[in-house]
Amino acid sequence: MRAAGFLLAATIAGACVSPQARPSATSENPQATTFESPSAPADARTATVLYVQDGDSFRVEIDGQEERVRLIGINSPEKGECFDQEARALLDDLIGGQPVLVGTDVEEFDQYGRILGYVWLGDVFVNAELIRQGAALARGYEPNTTLQAVLDRAEQIAQEEEIGMWSSTACGSTERYEVTITGINADAIGRDNENLNGEWVTIESNHPTVIDLSKWTVRDESSVHRYTFGSGVRIAPGESLVLYTGCGSDRSPEFHWCSNTPVWDNAGDTGFLLDTNGSIVAQYGY
């Protein structure tokens, strides 16, 4: 159930100064982007962090019992992915062994029995701090979206400042590629699962040289759906290609995911293009 007294501490519009928001505006950097985090609700429960499992989940002792907590509204890299160890280390450094406050939203638990939590360490809103430091993506899951605007704002800051996973060199890449996702057609004509090739994503290169896309990956916001380009796929300056969700014959510039289910969420999603190292080259949200 929704935690009583769950009110934002400030309006999430424009630049609002917060002790946790970095970089803060100064005379040397007057255009720095900041945001203000909400305070913990009055009925948030006190818990002690026992063990950090990954960048968005951990175990706590709460009310005398051990519980698992999954942070609401964020999605950190999965095990084995680029930046997964950094994300876990950041969360561990931030809250490991510490007393925290845990608040909930509409749903208290997920399907795995984990507490769905908004978490605070003192004045630090942990969910937003992880995103702001580029250790997680903002990912809203209805109906638990009361504070999603704060989390989305934190992601915007991380992107603008190229922090954490948003850095072009975060995953060992040495080149900045001029490639963009120019569009995603998410809502196929008719039933999506009966018209999979009615979904597609388009990619365009403005890079000065030909790029080898072999082992580059396209993924959705949830990270559940992933497509990897095969060997020998290249894109030249000024060229575009289209990646259809369904099956078909691959011949540049048309490629096929061959997924047996729709990939792109009609209600809103984000597509990511990752290079061979896992660095984010481009993204497109709708």
Determine the pLDDT at residue 64.
95
Determine the pLDDT at residue 35.
67
Where along the chain do its domains lie?
A: 45-166, 179-285
Q: Is the pLDDT of residue 212 over 90?
A: yes
**Contact, 165 vs 76, CB < 8 A?**
no
Q: Which of 66, 78, 175, 194 is catalytic?
A: 78
Q: Which of 150, 132, 171 is nearest to 274 (CA)?
A: 171
Q: Give 122's contacts (C-beta < 8 A, 6+ positions apart).
A: none
Determine the pLDDT at residue 24.
33
Structure tokens at 69: 């907590």
pLDDT tens, position by position, 92-115? 999 999 999 999 999 999 999 999
CATH number for 45-166 (one of 3.90.550.10, 2.40.50.90, 3.40.190.10, 2.10.109.10): it is: 2.40.50.90
Q: Which of 45, 68, 70, 219 is catalytic?
A: 70
Q: Which CATH superfamily is domain 179-285 in?
A: Lamin Tail domain (2.60.40.1260)
> Average pLDDT in the 57-64 region?
97
**Contact, 72 vs 119, CB < 8 A?**
no
Answer yes or no: 45 catalytic: no
What percent of the chain stands above pLDDT 90?
79
Q: Which of 2, 59, 114, 234 is catalytic?
A: 114
Q: What is the CA radius of gyration of the chain?
A: 20
pLDDT tens, position by position, 173-203? 888 999 999 999 999 999 999 999 999 999 9
Determine the pLDDT at residue 4.
37
Q: Is the pLDDT of residue 86 over 70?
A: yes
Same fold, 45-166 and 179-285: no
Write the DSSP symbol of residue 37. Answer: P
Instruction: Find the distance separating the first CA and the last CA of the chain, reported in whole Å.
Output: 29
Answer yes or no: 22 catalytic: no
Mean pLDDT of the chain: 88
pLDDT band at 7 (very low <50, low <70, confident <90, very high): very low
pLDDT tens, position by position, 227-246? 999 999 999 999 999 999 99
